[in-house]
Amino acid sequence: MSAPRRYVKIAPSLLSADFADIADQIRMVESGGCDELHLDSMDGVFVPNLTWGMKIVKDLRKLTALPFDCHLMIVQPERYVDAFREAGADIITFHYEATPHQHRLLRHIRSLGAKAGIAINPGTPSALLVDLIEEIDRVLVMSVNPGFGGQTFIDRALVKVAEVRALLNVRNPVAEIEVDGGIGLANLERAVQAGADVLVAGNSVFGSEDPPETLREMRRRIDGLQKQRR
């Protein structure tokens, strides 16, 4: 474990936001200094929950210039990546488990001009990424079973983050690792120390009393790790 050398991004997950007041919710997290927005699309098949598709992404695109990190929890994601890109996705992350053609899809996402992300569930070993490494802009390590916000962080994910970082360091050091699920003030430092570059936070931000202040405190904790390193 080591302190981070690079800038660590914070990505609030809109799954925990109040959609009756979404423009205000986005302004609120922007004012706290977040780096991108994490948008979870769920199909009720890959995961036991439903959220939104391209129409909502397109409408939200009008509200902010923050990068959109679209996390597709849908089967056969190849059917939809073009439409998500057109709707305004900057990073398109699909699940390893949701398609047999991960390599083709990573290349296709890059060909659309988006960053290509691949997500792995808690039960999927990091070693399965070995033949995909050069095609990846971002690996999303799930630290809960996907489908719902507000679940408890699975500690084993930290081991997986370190394994993925070791794989990337050799063949694709600029690729990022994103950790998603159960991240908050209690564990974000451990995630960063394990090698995370992007921290997704839903419930811990939108469920807090003062979301902008929670984001600022997250940033202070990350900066604190960097100071320790100097």
Tokens of 70: 């679209």
What crossing angle do the helices spanning 22-31 and 211-229 adopt, rounded to 10°?
30
Which residues have C-beta within 8 Å of that of residue 54, sequence separation ≥ 6?
A: 80, 83, 84, 86, 87
Only segment of 29-37, 89-97, 121-129, 196-204 that touches ligand DX5 (CB under 6 A) = 196-204
Output 48 or 224, the one with its CB closest to Zn ion: 48
The residue number with the shortest CB distance to Zn ion is 71
CB of 169 to ligand DX5, least distance (A): 25
CA 127, 131, 169 angle in degrees (round to 5)? Answer: 70
71 is a site residue for Zn ion (CB under 5 A): yes
**Residue 31 contacts residue 72 (beta carbons within 8 Å):** no
Q: In what order do the strands lie in the sheet with 198-201?
A: 9-12, 198-201, 176-180, 138-142, 115-120, 91-95, 68-73, 37-42
Which residues have C-beta within 8 Å of that of residue 163, sequence separation ≥ 6?
A: 126, 127
124 is a site residue for ligand DX5 (CB under 6 A): no
Q: Which of 82, 180, 210, 223 is catalytic?
A: 180
Only segment of 27-35, 67-75, 129-137, 160-168 that touches Zn ion (CB under 5 A) = 67-75
Using CB under 6 A, which of 9, 38, 115, 160 touches ligand DX5? Answer: 38
Whether 40 is catalytic: yes
16 is a site residue for ligand DX5 (CB under 6 A): yes
Task: Supply the residues annotated as catalytic.
Answer: 40, 180
Residues near ligand DX5 (CB under 6 A): 13, 15-16, 38, 40, 71, 144, 146-151, 180-183, 200-204
